[in-house]
Chains A and B, each alone.
Chain A
Amino acid sequence: MAEPRTAPEQSAREEGLEFLEPRVHGEGFPMAQVFGYGGSLLLTFGSFFLVTRHLMPPVILLAVILTLAIGQAALQLGVFMHIRESRGPAWQLMPLGLAFFIALGMIGMSIWIMMFKAGVS
């Protein structure tokens, strides 16, 4: 229990894992969260506006609003969820990245494989 601990940043760097270096949010008033809230409202209702105005062809419109949604998810993860906060290296980043990769693969490949309708139904 009493064994001395190395500083977290140091241990992450030593192993060549700079990208896992933790960053903890400060104690000052969280202006970032206020802007994050404003930004998330803007992104969400912006995409609703785009859809109701029919400014673009459907395929492009879907791509644009999905991009806005991904931006919004990144904003939530970074600003609100403090994704890089950790005691030591931020190990959660690796399984999370893997999970998003698998998620995209699962959804994308399901859509892809179901486009081959011949022989079914």
Chain B
Amino acid sequence: MSLPLAQEETGLEPGLPLELADERESIKVTGFWMFLVTDVLIFASLFASYAVYRSRVAQAPGPAQVFHYGPVLLETLLLLTSSFTVGIAIWAMRTGRVRMLFFWLAATLVLGAGFVTSEIHDFTSMVGQGLTWHQSAFLSAFYVLVGTHGAHVTFGIFWAVTLLFQVARRGITPITARKLYTFSLYWHFLDIVWVFIFTFVYLGGKIG
């Protein structure tokens, strides 16, 4: 394993995956963790405002009448599965299997698109019933919290599409590996946020 000459030429630390073996790329991975830290705080403040406003329904219906559990369960299943498939994609990347990486990343994209489609459908049907965010503090907090998460997922889908092109053109290099790795961190993070939305917003609404 110890090849000091080769190591000096490539600058890669042996025994580490590509995205961490390259010093500059590993710094960017740490930087991405710092971004996730700030995102934790954004969602925390939105959760705090939802917690405060969820009982302030004014004249509009409350959580128990508003939420549809069928679409929500489907969305949960899609997002949990996509978190798993992106994990497998990173494993394929680290073992150098480009086609497999491509397949699992594309599967992640499709599942993510399914999630966003179901959520948009759910929101538009709610708005169709007159449940807009003007109606009550509860609905305002609900749309802002869940909508911010949905916007993150939508952005992630476009990001992943650019990554598919980059992998197709350049293969697995320290740079593309780092981009894919940070994308996987982002995607798993969104899955964690969704688990709390599912539990606190949707299941919490059923408890009352």
Contacts and interface: CB of A to CB of B under 8 A. Distances in A.
B84 A68 contact: no
B52 A114 contact: yes
Q: Which 8 A-B pairs rank lowest in CB-CB distance, beginning with the nearest?
A: A103-B44, A92-B33, A87-B26, A110-B48, A37-B84, A69-B199, A99-B40, A99-B37
A80 to B, nearest CB: 5
Contacts, number: 140
A118 interface: no
Name the prevailing secondary structure of the A interface residues: helix
A24 B20 contact: yes
Given A58-B207, A62-B204, A30 B87 contact: yes
B78 to A, nearest CB: 12
Interface in A14-59: 24, 27, 29-30, 33-34, 36-37, 40-41, 44-45, 47-48, 51-52, 58
Contacts of B44: 99, 102-104, 106-107
Nearest to B94: A27
B52 A91 contact: no
Nearest to B194: A44
B51 A110 contact: yes
Nearest to A33: B87
Contacts of B86: 80
Interface residues of B, number: 56
A100 B73 contact: no
Interface of A: 1-2, 5, 24, 27, 29-30, 33-34, 36-37, 40-41, 44-45, 47-48, 51-52, 58, 61-62, 65-66, 68-69, 72-73, 76-77, 79-81, 85-87, 91-92, 95-96, 98-100, 102-104, 106-107, 110-111, 114
B20 A87 contact: yes
Contact of A110 (B21, B36, B41, B49): B49
